[in-house]
């Protein structure tokens, strides 16, 4: 495979392995898909009152949505910068829910008290803990499905993107503004893939980068919806900034998605053209074209087509 | 091969085709060209005189012409061609006394019979081409699963792999070049927009009028848009003197007209607005000699997507964009919607009558208001008071859409109709809840049934009943769409989506 560029700077080839046990494959189309998500993540505020729709077509749906989504989560900063436990908890009320990270776990629950009577302060949050074990704490709007989960570890991609530096902040206060709609079982398969820079040995599972919300989540970055039952799941929560519609089955719901940025991923191996016609029609009737090259500094790799436009929301 | 490696090959194949294009081998075969010429004469005559009595001969001739392009087997194995010739000859015999075109009829019979005197030249070219690159480096793609069966019987003993485009999409591929038997338009665009091999060749008869290469639906708007070009190579017998319809000449008959298609006729209903008990609906021809009237009231119809994994196959298809090849999920005797609504009403117990009355009331007031003010004016007025989905106002007056999706929209709508929010809001919401519950149950049953459907059989036969035990859901079946009528008819509301017998698809392959 020829060397590829993900943007200005030295050429970097990312590798993708379908699981931890599999052989990684380095290819020129991986980095640009990740980069699309990251470029978009910097633009989430740029289109107020409008919706930015990016349509890309790929030879087959595999990994495309999770790569774009991972790029997005990499680029979205944590929602809290102050996560020092005592600073956050001293003024806290016992009505609130909080997330906390220590060496081994992410904890999530209702805050039930801070006990500073002894030398080492103790906090009651889904259990009783010594506060100096916690590296970061932040409030959360809703209860998480689980009280405890093993703390995800970040490796190669964390270093490459810089998120290793504020990983704990991201765990307790994630932007969590991404939704992916598609064939759930295929997406779940893609989550097992491992992404690495060059031939780094400590690649990151896509599942760690996307951190999907499941019943075992004490924190999460992404909500994943199945397109087959999707009509009954509408309307989507209104705290989303990006919706990725993975495949023609999901793209059919474009008119029902009122999220500021939408990425439509067309699978060219599927013959159904009606979704493409729908998007082209929308662009022609109500859309203002946007040049991905000029406004996002992003070029589609060989085998990928892309266009973008805004519509008034 | 790992998934990522296989995916990598797909990206590479796509890039290769975008860069180098495809090859088109146009084969001269005088006997096939002669039959094509007489079919065109027949078509021009029908254009002049109208169809009617010529319908069946036209159907048989178009079908045989299609087979000339897709079944290039030697005559001794070529059942499809032989049967096709017999059909044409039979139809000519039936017409002999009924029409005064003796010369055309004789030429039709002679040209058809002559086809069986020599092996189609396309076959020889195909086999030579494959052997040139080696049977391990090339495979053959057939235009349908029936064609695949025939070509397989002929070629597979020689070590040549034969697939349909559908098979190609799902198989593990190590070959370098795919030979498609038939023109590009006989295959879905995925053949060139999502190739599995870095080289693709189409083998076509010279007389086939359409050599266009499909492009991806977004190619014209996209950065990196994939527009695959074609390199033309000529083969077969020495080029004949200019035939009557040289490709590219003016007065050309569009290929669309010469391909097997259903005969739709013309709209029979009066041109007036539907009454409250009627709908505008299109006839949709289905596999197995059936059809349904499909209304766009409610916008979608349940379908089965065989490509999706088990548990996610039951989807909704857009009614306005339905195309041949889609598999619909239908119920004998009564439309799914009616059955679901009946079940939902049952569940509301003794409130059913009140809920029905409530729904009827606000909907009939809405229907009247739409009639009085017109749809467009009403949409505008609703938007002005803040209704977001105002464009759906017409569907809200139909009994099939329970209520507007958004609570706010519903409240504003009731206000605009000068109605109080309750009891209409509450009743509609109860009904909607029950319909959603019944819908989820049906979907679960359907998914379970879809999981055990033999997809291979379904692709081969075109239709199949579903194994669902629940008495509320018996009689469901899945069937392939064969054609969608270009015009609508007025049909009774209760007839919509209820399957009936129809032979309109008999000449389709």
Q: Rounded mean pLDDT of B58-64? A: 93
Residues of chain B found within 8 Å of residue A228, distances taken between Cβ atoms: 308, 312-315
Among A159-168, A172-181, B112-121, B369-378, which is the least confidently predicted range?
A: B369-378
Strand segments (E) across chain A: 14-17, 25-27, 50-58, 97-101, 105-115, 122-125, 128-130, 136-140, 148-150, 178-182, 194-197, 204-205, 222-226, 242-246, 261-267, 288-290, 305-312
pLDDT, tens digit (0-9, with 9 covering 90-100), for A294-309: 999 999 999 999 999 9
Among A49-63, A110-124, A155-169, B183-197, which is the least confidently predicted range?
A: A110-124
Q: Rounded mean pLDDT of B287-294? A: 92
Question: Distance from A92 to chain B by nearest Cα, in Å?
Answer: 35
CB spacing of A228 vs B308 below 8 angstroms: yes
DSSP letters spanning B89-139: HHHHHHHTTT-S-HHHHHHHHHHHHHGGGS--HHHHHHHHHHHHH-TTTEE
pLDDT of residue A4: 41
Rounded to whole angstroms, how far apart are CA atoms A230 and B315?
Answer: 9
With bands split at pLDDT 50, 70 and 90, how would you rate the model's confidence at A127? Answer: confident
Does position B137 have pLDDT exceeding 90, yes or no? yes
- Torsion angle defined by CA atoms of residues A61, A67, A69 and A72, in that order, rounded to the nearest 10 degrees: -150
Please check whether residue B197 is in contact with residue B10, taking contact to mean a CB–CB distance below 8 angstroms. Answer: no
pLDDT of residue A98: 93
For B169, other C-beta atoms within 10 Å of its C-beta total 19
CB spacing of A302 vs B11 below 8 angstroms: yes
Among A218-227, B23-32, B308-317, which is the least confidently predicted range?
A: B308-317
Question: Distance from B406 to chain A by nearest Cα, in Å?
Answer: 8
Q: Does any CB of chain B come closer than 8 Å to the CB of residue A153?
A: no
Residues of chain A found within 8 Å of residue B409, distances taken between Cβ atoms: none
CB spacing of B5 vs A270 below 8 angstroms: no
pLDDT, tens digit (0-9, with 9 covering 90-100), for A144-174: 999 999 999 999 999 999 999 999 999 999 9
The ipTM assigned to this model is 0.92
pLDDT of residue A145: 95
Rounded to whole angstroms, how far apart are CA atoms A105 and A101?
Answer: 6
| C-alpha closest to that of B170 among B328, B8, B10 | B10
Please check whether residue A218 is in contact with residue A105, taking contact to mean a CB–CB distance below 8 angstroms. Answer: yes
- Name the average pLDDT for chain A: 91
With bands split at pLDDT 50, 70 and 90, how would you rate the model's confidence at B298? Answer: low
Does position A9 have pLDDT exceeding 80, yes or no? no
Please check whether residue B294 is in contact with residue B497, taking contact to mean a CB–CB distance below 8 angstroms. Answer: yes
N residues, chain A: 313
Q: Rounded mean pLDDT of B1-10? A: 92
Side-chain-facing half-sphere of B218: CA atoms under 13 Å: 28
Q: Rounded mean pLDDT of B183-206? A: 95
Among B108-112, B214-218, B421-425, which is the least confidently predicted range?
A: B214-218
Rounded to whole angstroms, how far apart are CA atoms A126 and A108?
Answer: 7
Q: Does any CB of chain B come closer than 8 Å to the CB of residue A3?
A: no
CB spacing of B311 vs A283 below 8 angstroms: no
Higher pLDDT, A292 or B468: A292
Does position B264 have pLDDT exceeding 90, yes or no? no
Per-range mean pLDDT, top range of A220-224, B256-260, B330-334, B371-375: A220-224
Residue in A59, A226, A276 nearest the CB of B10:
A59
pTM over 0.95: no
Q: Does any CB of chain B come closer than 8 Å to the CB of residue A293?
A: yes
pLDDT, tens digit (0-9, with 9 covering 90-100), for A184-214: 999 999 999 999 998 899 999 999 999 999 9
Residue in B4, B13, B224 nearest the CB of A25:
B4
CB spacing of A276 vs B311 below 8 angstroms: no
- 171-210 in A: which are within 8 Å (CB) of B? 183-186, 193
Q: Rounded mean pLDDT of B194-217? A: 94
- Name the average pLDDT for chain B: 89
Does position A123 have pLDDT exceeding 70, yes or no? yes
pLDDT of residue A2: 38
* Nearest-5° Cα angle at B139, B134 to B144: 155
């Amino acid at each position: 495979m020829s060397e590829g560029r993900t943007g200005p700077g030295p050429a970097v080839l990312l590798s993708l392995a379908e699981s931890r046990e599999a052989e990684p494959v380095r290819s020129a189309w991986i980095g640009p898909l990740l980069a699309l998500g990251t470029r978009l993540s910097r633009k989430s505020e740029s289109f107020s009152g409008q919706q930015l729709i990016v349509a890309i077509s790929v030879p087959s749906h595999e990994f495309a949505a999770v790569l774009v989504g991972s790029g997005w989560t990499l680029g979205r900063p944590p929602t809290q910068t102050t996560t020092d436990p005592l600073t956050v908890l001293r003024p806290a009320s016992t009505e609130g829910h909080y997330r906390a990270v220590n060496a081994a776990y992410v904890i999530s629950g209702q805050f039930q008290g801070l006990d500073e009577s002894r030398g080492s302060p103790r906090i009651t949050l889904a259990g009783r803990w010594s506060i100096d074990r916690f590296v970061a704490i932040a409030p959360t709007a809703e209860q998480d499905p689980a009280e405890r989960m093993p703390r995800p570890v970040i490796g190669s991609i964390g270093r490459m993107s810089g998120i290793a530096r504020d990983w704990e902040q991201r765990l307790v206060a994630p932007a969590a503004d991404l939704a992916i709609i598609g064939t759930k079982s295929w997406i779940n398969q893609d989550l097992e893939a491992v992404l690495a820079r060059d031939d780094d040995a400590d690649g990151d599972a896509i599942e760690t980068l996307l951190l999907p919300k499941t019943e075992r989540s004490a924190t999460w970055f992404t909500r994943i919806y199945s397109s087959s039952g999707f009509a009954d799941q509408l309307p989507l929560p209104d705290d989303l900034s990006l919706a990725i519609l993975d495949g023609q089955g999901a793209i059919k719901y474009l008119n029902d998605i009122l999220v500021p940025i939408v990425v439509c991923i067309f699978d060219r191996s599927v013959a159904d053209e009606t979704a493409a016609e729908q998007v082209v029609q929308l662009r022609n009737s109500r859309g203002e074209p946007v040049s991905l090259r000029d406004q996002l500094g992003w070029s589609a790799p060989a085998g990928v087509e892309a266009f973008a436009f805004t519509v008034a929301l | 091969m790992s998934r990522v490696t296989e995916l990598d090959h797909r990206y590479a194949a796509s890039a290769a085709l975008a860069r180098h294009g495809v090859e088109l081998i146009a084969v001269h075969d005088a006997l096939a060209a002669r039959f094509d010429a007489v079919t065109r004469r027949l078509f021009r005559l029908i254009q002049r005189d109208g169809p009617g009595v010529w319908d069946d001969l036209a159907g048989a001739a178009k079908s045989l012409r299609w087979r000339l392009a897709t079944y290039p087997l030697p005559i001794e194995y070529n059942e499809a061609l032989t049967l096709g010739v017999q059909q044409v000859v039979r139809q000519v015999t039936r017409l002999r006394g009924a029409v005064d075109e003796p010369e055309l009829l004789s030429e039709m019979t002679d040209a058809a019979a002559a086809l069986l005197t020599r092996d189609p030249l396309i076959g020889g070219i195909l086999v030579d081409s494959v052997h040139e690159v080696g049977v391990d480096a090339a495979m053959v793609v057939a235009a349908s699963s029936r064609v695949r069966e025939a070509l397989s019987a002929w070629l597979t003993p020689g070590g040549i792999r034969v697939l349909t485009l559908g098979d190609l999409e799902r198989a593990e591929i190590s070959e370098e070049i795919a030979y498609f038997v038939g023109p590009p338009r006989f295959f879905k665009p995925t053949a060139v927009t999502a190739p599995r091999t870095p080289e693709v060749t189409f083998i076509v008869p010279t007389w086939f009028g359409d050599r266009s290469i499909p492009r991806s639906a977004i190619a014209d708007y996209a950065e990196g848009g994939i527009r695959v070009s074609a390199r033309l190579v000529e083969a077969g017998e020495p080029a004949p003197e200019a035939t009557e319809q040289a490709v590219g000449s003016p007065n050309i008959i569009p290929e669309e007209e010469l391909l097997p298609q259903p005969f739709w006729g013309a709209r029979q209903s009066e041109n007036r607005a539907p009454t409250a008990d009627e709908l505008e609906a299109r006839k949709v021809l289905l596999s197995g000699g059936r059809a349904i009237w499909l209304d766009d009231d409610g916008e979608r119809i349940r379908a089965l997507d065989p490509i999706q994994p088990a548990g996610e196959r039951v989807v909704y298809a857009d009614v306005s964009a339905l195309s041949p090849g889609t598999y619909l999920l239908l119920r004998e005797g009564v439309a799914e919607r009616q059955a679901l609504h009946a079940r939902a009403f049952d569940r509301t117990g003794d409130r059913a009558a009140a809920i029905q009355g409530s729904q009827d009331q606000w909907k009939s007031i809405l229907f009247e208001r739409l009639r009085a003010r017109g749809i467009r004016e009403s949409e505008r007025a609703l938007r002005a008071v803040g209704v977001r989905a105002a464009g759906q106002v017409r569907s809200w007056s139909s009994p099939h859409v329970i209520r507007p999706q958004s609570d706010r929209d519903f409240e504003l709508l009731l206000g605009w109709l000068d109605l109080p929010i309750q009891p209409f809001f509450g009743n509609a919401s109860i009904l909607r809840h029950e319909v959603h519950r019944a819908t989820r149950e049906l979907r679960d049953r359907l998914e379970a049934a879809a999981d055990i459907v033999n997809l291979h059989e379904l692709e081969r036969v075109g239709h199949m009943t579903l194994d669902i035990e629940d008495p509320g859901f018996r009689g469901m079946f899945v069937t392939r769409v064969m054609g969608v009528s270009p015009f609508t008819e007025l049909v009774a509301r209760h007839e919509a989506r209820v399957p009936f017998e129809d032979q309109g698809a008999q000449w389709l392959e």
